[in-house]
Amino acid sequence: MSEQPSQHAVRVWHRVMRPRDRAESHRVATPLELLFDLCFVVAVGQAAAQLHHALAEGHAAHGVASFAMVFFAIWWGWLNFSWFASAFDTDDVPYRLATLVQIAGGLTIAAGVDRAFDGDFRAIVAGYVLMRLSLVAQWLRAARSAPETRPAALRFAAGIAVCQVLWIVRLFLPASLATVTFVAVVLCELAVPVIAERRAKTTWHPHHIAERYGLFTLIVLGETVLSATNAIKEGTAEPGHLGALISLAAAGLVLVFSMWWLYFDRPGHLRLVRRRTMFTAMSWGYGHYFVFASAAAVGAGLEVAVAYDTGALHGAGGVAAAMATTVPVAIFLLSVWLLHIGPTNECRPIAIGFPVTAVLVVAASFTPAPIHVAAVLTAALVALMVVVAHGEPRT
């Protein structure tokens, strides 16, 4: 039996970093992990704010591309910390200090978001590399202390280190290669866990991982509520728009509540437990990029809707302004459907309801009614999906 931290254990300066028990009972998120999430959501908020500004100015393509790139740095840093912690969290002083360095890297990313949307990724890369090299040190510590997972740990450390060199080299390449090189290095990053866990597997805990993803989803949805609230607060300063703003506020609240309901209606750990394969773990873990990013983008979309209804938006038309909300909602629906339900050939309402609702939500962007009416229609469609999904038996 390996030494494991517990809530009743005496705090020590150092523990041997042994793999956690995959069947450990009462395995829940720690206060340090919650602090990590709260610090990282600062970067999420900055990225969503910049996306809102880009959409409001009519630069949708540039804004979405920049948001996707910045969000990758945030999400991938969070993901790697969470899976490592699930397998090797010792909660001793070296582990806490290494996590502090990763938090510092995440906050540096947050500070560089504004410049990244202008094409300057130096601060983002600096924070990202700092965060990732701290994780390299963690993997080397695990390799030294856990012989059974040493091959995987060393492959993780080597792969991550090589990728950081590539990110730094990319800064000195011509701007014309920015997109191609970004995609290439991202693919290298995504390949590291696949290669590292090819034979020797790490002992991540399915219930713990599902809880970690659920908690981050909650925090991102909370950031969406904050963005929409601030936008409506600013909108009320303009007279003559109270009715539209009340409609948007109600639609936003119902929308976020419905998104929360759909995500948590079926426990995420069930798919990880029932299909404990590398493909399931990777697809579930990687697929949440779209869940997190779309949830954050909904807040930016609601801000755009408020600006349009109050006459403060001049860079986008009505359809584009509506799609700033409906497209992220549709992506969220499809992502939850694929990750928590799974596509099937059945004709049950839940099997076809998510993609059908996603299509109808996007179609709501083209209604000739005011944008707050489109928002209410979108919220009603997603709420109807909640009724359909909740009425289905659990399997």
- Output the CA–CA distances (angstroms, integers) from residue 364 to 220, 320, 336, in the order listed: 24, 12, 20
Rounded Cα gap, residues 197 and 150, in angstroms = 11
Q: How many other C-beta atoms lie within 10 A of the C-beta of residue 380? A: 15
Mean of the per-residue pLDDT values for the chain? Answer: 87
What's the average model confidence in pLDDT over 192-214? Answer: 88
**Per-residue pLDDT at 5:** 53
From residue 41, alpha-carbon distances to 103, 118, 361, 386 in Å are 11, 21, 27, 26
Q: Is pLDDT at 205 greater than 80 in this prediction?
A: yes
Domain shared by 94 and 225, yes or no: no
3-state secondary structure 334-350: HHHHHHHHCCCCCCCHH
Question: Is the confidence at residue 4, as pLDDT, over 60?
Answer: no
What is the tens place of the pLDDT at every residue in 40-80?
A: 999 999 999 999 999 888 898 999 999 999 999 999 999 99
Residue 152 located in a structural domain: yes
Determine the pLDDT at residue 124. 96
pLDDT band, residue 348 (cuts 50/70/90): low
Q: What is the pLDDT of residue 10?
A: 52
Residue 9 has pLDDT above 60, yes or no: no
Whether 26 is in a domain gets the answer no
Question: What pLDDT is stored for residue 281 in this prediction?
Answer: 76
The verdict on 142 and 242 lying in the same domain is no
Which pLDDT score, from 0 to 100, does residue 167 have? Answer: 97
Largest CA distance in the chain: 69
pLDDT tens for each residue of 272-327: 766 566 667 788 889 999 999 999 999 999 888 888 877 767 666 788 888 999 99
Contact 293, 71 (CB under 8 A): yes
Q: Are residues 280 and 163 in the same domain?
A: no
Q: Which of 220, 215, 218 is nearest to 296 (CA)?
A: 220
139 and 166, same domain (yes or no): yes
* 37 lies in the same domain as 180: yes
Domain boundary among 196, 229, 262: 196
Same domain for 49 and 192, yes or no, is yes
Of 138, 166, 196, the residue that ends a domain is 196
Q: CA angle, corner 37, sides to 194 and 255, nearest 5?
A: 95
In this predicted model, which residue has the larger pLDDT, 318 or 221? Answer: 221
Tokens of 46: 């900055």
Closest among 25, 18, 29 to 88, alpha carbons compared? 18
Domain of residue 142 covers 31-196
User: pLDDT band at residue 245, thresholds of 50, 70 and 90?
Assistant: confident
The stretch 203-212 carries a mean pLDDT of 89
- Three-state DSSP string of 200-225: CCCCCCHHHHHHHHHHHHHHHHHHHH
Same domain assignment for residues 135 and 79: yes
Specify the range with the lowest mean pLDDT, choosing from 94-108, 159-173, 266-280. Answer: 266-280
Confidence band for 7, pLDDT divided at 50, 70 and 90: very low
Q: Is the pTM of this model over 0.85?
A: yes
> Domain for residue 300, yes or no?
yes
At residue 101, the pLDDT reads 97
Q: What is the pLDDT of residue 198?
A: 83
- Supply the DSSP symbol for 20: P
pLDDT for residue 241 is more than 50: yes
* One domain for residues 106 and 57: yes
Tokens (6 digits) for 252: 């936003």
Rounded to 5°, the CA angle 228-232-237 comes to 155
Q: Clarify whether residues 158 and 187 are in a common domain.
A: yes
Report how many domains make up the chain: 2
Note whether residue 230 is domain-resident. yes
User: Does pLDDT of 343 surpass 80?
Assistant: no
Q: Determine whether 338 is exposed, middle or buried from the number of CB atoms within 10 Å of its CB (0-12, 13-18, 19+).
A: middle
Amino acid identity for residue 78 in this structure: W
CATH number at residue 223: 1.20.1410
Q: Where are the alpha helices (DSSP H) in the chain?
A: 31-56, 60-88, 93-111, 113-117, 122-145, 150-170, 178-196, 206-235, 242-264, 269-274, 278-309, 318-336, 349-363, 371-390
176 & 215 share domain = no
Which of 196, 218, 239 delimits the end of a domain?
A: 196
Same-domain pairing of 186 and 334: no
Of the CA atoms within 13 Å of residue 176, those in its CB half-sphere come to 0
- Clarify whether residues 191 and 231 are in a common domain: no
